[in-house]
Structure 1
Amino acid sequence: MKKILIGAVLYIITAPFCLAQVHWLNVDSLYGSLPTSVHVFTTTDLIDGKPNIAFYVIADLKDLKLSFTTDTTLNRRITPQQFYEKNQQPLLIVNGTFFDFATNRNLNAVIKNGKLVSYNVHTTALKGKDTLLYMHTFRSAIGITKKRKADVAWLYTDSSARFAKAFQQVPGFYKDSFAVVTQKGLLQRSSKWNMQTAISGGPVLIQNTKIAVSNNEEHMFSGKAIDDKHPRTAMGYRADGKLIILVVQGRMPGIAEGATLTELAKLLLDLGCVEALNLDGGGSSCMLVNGKETIKPSDKEGQRPVPAVFIIEENK
């Protein structure tokens, strides 16, 4: 665990200097009628000297004309465009959670209308020299309360409990011989997370206005994978109550290379986020505004079917 904590400190110290601040252009006019509290921006500035295309949407959580929600499917996946039609054409649709390709199973927590409708996978059976052992992880999420306050935390979710439990400091992972989470002392450090809306992914990218990529503690991407450039989806919030939803196009050499997790964190920090996290990326990354794509999805088939999305609706 000491090595993991040291790695996190190094990211806090070195990450802010990894790329110059990019310049963003307002492109509201390309996305139809928008509420005055919602804006769309794009950039084609280079990231680390590589071609880049990125978009972000900023929305005011305090605007009562906006609703923030989620939607999921059960043991199946549909495209963001299909979610858009299924939800009566909302203002914004963006992909969220990770999933199992073989089973279409959602692997992360989702809260809709104050209810847990999907749960984090906390226990994974290990193989090889660790056969008969289990890995226990606590993945991160972004939530919005009824009072429209946002929070990023690491979650423990139990299907027998009404509310998720949240850690405000990264708990890390552990191994043992039990197929369920048993460390009561660890869970006692968590508290009830009473959110109206939430979507989970990981790792956390920003905490307390500092880049702090909790990849190792959430046991997300192995080896040097966090330094690979990919399409990305991320969410965060600012101290003034503005929500930031960011997507980065990628896997298109010479056009849009994508971003590393650290580069993604730097973009969010420059946009003023006090907390932020990574969501499912790669071919899943897709954001629609009034039904129109922002970045171009990297899969040659177009939009990848996903099991859960985050939604912004304009109240009529």
Structure 2
Amino acid sequence: KIRLVFNTEVEPDFDYSFGNQGQSLTVDFVNTRQSNVKPEKAPQRKAIKKWQISWPNFNRGRFTINFASAIQPDKVSFFKLKEPHRLVVDIDTTPKQLPSTYKISPGITWSRQLIKDPTFGTLLWNQLLFDRNDPHISVDVALANNTNPHTVAVLSKIVPQEEGAIAGINGGFFNMPNGGLLGLVVKDGKLISPHVGRRPARSVIAFTQDGQPMIERLKAIKGQVVRLNGQPTPPLRMALGAGPTLLKNGQLYITADAEELGPKGNDITRACGRSLIAYNKEKMMLATLSGVRDSHSQGWKLPVLAKYLQKKGMTEALNLDGGGSVGMAIGSNIVGNGPQAGTYQRPIGDALVLKDSRGTAYPSLITIDLPKALKSNGRDKGQASILALNSKGNPVPDGTVLDLYGLGLKCPSQVVTKDGRAEFEVQALRSPGMGSLSASGLFSKGTAALRLESGEPHRLIVQLSNCFLTAAPLLTGNSSTSSLVQPPVGPPTETTSVQAQPDEGDLEVPIPEQPLKDLLNLGETEAPEPQETSSAPPAIPQVKNAAPSAASKMKLSLKVLIEDEWHNALPLSPFSVEDAQGQVLYKGQTDRQGAANLNLETAADNARLFIKSPKLKTLTLELKDEPHFTK
């Protein structure tokens, strides 16, 4: 856990929101000055990638923190303390994890677990488990290219392009890198690829036309699939060759040597990642075993895998292509890679896929309805609704959990569907512009936007950050220089700020510690006498400052901010600055952040400036003696 403490000097007024699907948190300190918000100490944890404090304008501070992985909004809490005033933010940075078991269709369950093996290290097990007698579910072979079996593609493209496929794993052996199936393949009852003629017949997973599975060594002779003894098989709907067999009738039955997949052939018996299909009388599974870093050098040897399947109650099992080819995809989403393996996929020749005629149990389409607009006042609420449909266009099962994230909005962190729908309230933050809400369910995401409307101009805030005189000096001595600029003596003024509001009331004005009259009293300076040398340099002129004349100029740096009643800065708001003689020093508008930074120059004897904005009272800046504002 991480605790952030902000010293705010006054009671904190703040909003917060999550971005990038929970990978960032933004806290806005509203109606506050830059000196009033200080983190007690810099957050330094591995869970934090980056953090920063910024100031969108001089009346709003923003703290942004980016996390190494997404966090859950309901794991973040805020509370205030007094004496002194502080804001405390507690963050549980435990990474959000996918559930260990998830129903991806009415009949198919996906589960995953980390296996800590004392010999082979930490490995990732993924399995797709289903009732082998469920009439809605079928196992099929999917090709990288249905019209050309001599090509390759990544698994995340093979699975979604196969009609009706919900999930799948990599299949049989193939020629690298350009493709060409190396094993028996039957699809829709048609022979696509024969067995490898120069090798013995290898093990095949096949399904008969009436849906019965079989793991057996098969080969193709004259376009017909037959057993080792030459007898034809029952009519096959599909078949995929790989090998070796791992289990038969519940016993270890590893046929690596007989199929020349051991030391005397294409040896695949080393420890590496594995893909497989296994079943018993009731259940069937497609599974992968992946290394944490990679599947080429991390995994199990075949006997270890076979014994693990025995413990899971499987009686028949077949090993598929392994090593760097290992992969599992749900839709187009790769889930079989180890936690440190990244997203790389080796292009493969074919895959084993699962189909469920009822469609997915997780959302394939999420639509969101929001109000067209809310007032950006931190209080305005509206009703939101979500519709989640599966791959068949039907409502997802009741109880499906959707994660929510709002931009410019407060919303629940999760909702649960009933009849595919969920309804809830959203609340506007003080962040005018376009807000959005996103909802995600496993691998799908939906987003909707709405307007967050600012209010009418309510206050004009002006900050005087410095003020000094530029005068033309009197010159003595021999010099061709006609003028010099004398910098002001002493430090610049402290910040002076004031608010002009449409309502009546007293106006408190902080006075700078360094009065303007001290800056105007420049005094006298003289250049040092030149040293005598054999060749005297030109005389350095002596500079004597005159009292300010009509030609003297005063430079001012002003920051102007126009806000609504909810302390939202108003972009592109018109305003002007005039001097006492009615000369317009500036006429324009605030920038897209609702502020403007001005560097103005006026006559030194100018007594006051007027800052005007429609719908707001005029602010008067008195420049003589101690500078101050009046309404």
- How far apart are the structure 2 equivalents of 1:137 and 1:251? 34
Could you tell me how far 1:34 is from its partner in structure 2?
A: 2.3
C-alpha distance 151-116 of structure 1, shift in aligned 2 (>3 A): same
User: Aligned ranges for residues 72-221 of structure 1 at < 5 Å?
Assistant: 72=143, 73=145, 74-88=149-163, 90-101=165-176, 103-123=178-198, 136-158=199-221, 160-161=222-223, 163-167=224-228, 187-188=229-230, 190-221=231-262
Matched, 1:27 2:96: no
Could you tell me how far 1:103 is from its partner in structure 2?
A: 4.8
Q: Which residue of 2 aligns with 1:231?
A: 273
Matched, 1:37 2:107: yes
Deviation string for 1:127-186 (max 9, x for gaps)?
xxxxxxxxx41110111223221110001113x32x41124xxxxxxxxxxxxxxxxxxx
Could you tell me how far 1:300 is from its partner in structure 2?
A: 6.8
Aligned length: 253
- How far apart are the structure 1 equivalents of 2:203 and 2:274? 16
Contact 1:202 1:279 in 2 (8 A): yes
Instruction: Tell me the SS of whatever aligns to 2:139.
Output: strand
Could you tell me how far 1:26 is from its partner in structure 2?
A: 7.4
Within the candidate set 303, 308, 314, 1:267 is matched to 308
Q: Which residue of 2 aligns with 1:291?
A: 332
The structure with more strand, counted as a fraction of residues = 2
Identify unmatched segments of 5+ residues in structure 1. Answer: 1-24, 124-135, 168-186
C-alpha distance 47-149 of structure 1, shift in aligned 2 (>3 A): farther
- How far apart are the structure 2 equivalents of 1:229 and 1:262? 10
Q: Which residue of 2 aligns with 1:58?
A: 129
Could you tell me how far 1:227 is from its partner in structure 2?
A: 4.9
Equivalent residue letter for 1:81: S
Matched, 1:250 2:291: yes
| Largest Rg, 1 or 2 | 2
TM-score by length of 1: 0.72
Instruction: Tell me the SS of whatever aligns to 1:273.
Output: coil
Deviation string for 1:274-313 (max 9, x for gaps)?
2111100111111112333222179877111111111111
The structure with more helix, counted as a fraction of residues = 1
Deviation string for 1:87-124 (max 9, x for gaps)?
2472112111101115511101112112221221021x
TM-score by length of 2: 0.37
Deviation string for 1:217-252 (max 9, x for gaps)?
000132695552211101111122x21111000272
Q: Which residue of 1 aligns with 2:355?
A: 313
Contact 1:91 1:291 in 2 (8 A): no
Instruction: Tell me the SS of whatever aligns to 2:286.
Output: strand
Q: Which residue of 1 aligns with 2:317?
A: 276
Instruction: Tell me the SS of whatever aligns to 1:56.
Output: strand
- How far apart are the structure 2 equivalents of 1:299 and 1:197? 32
Could you tell me how far 1:199 is from its partner in structure 2?
A: 1.2
Instruction: Tell me the SS of whatever aligns to 1:262.
Output: helix
Contact 2:337 2:343 in 1 (8 A): no
Contact 1:230 1:251 in 2 (8 A): no
Contact 2:168 2:330 in 1 (8 A): yes
- How far apart are the structure 2 equivalents of 1:216 and 1:110? 22
Equivalent residue letter for 2:330: V
Contact 1:166 1:193 in 2 (8 A): no
Query: How many percent identity over aligned positions?
Result: 21
Deviation string for 1:42-90 (max 9, x for gaps)?
2212234421211111122222222321122321100111112322472
C-alpha distance 299-96 of structure 1, shift in aligned 2 (>3 A): farther
Identify unmatched segments of 5+ residues in structure 2. Answer: 1-97, 359-631
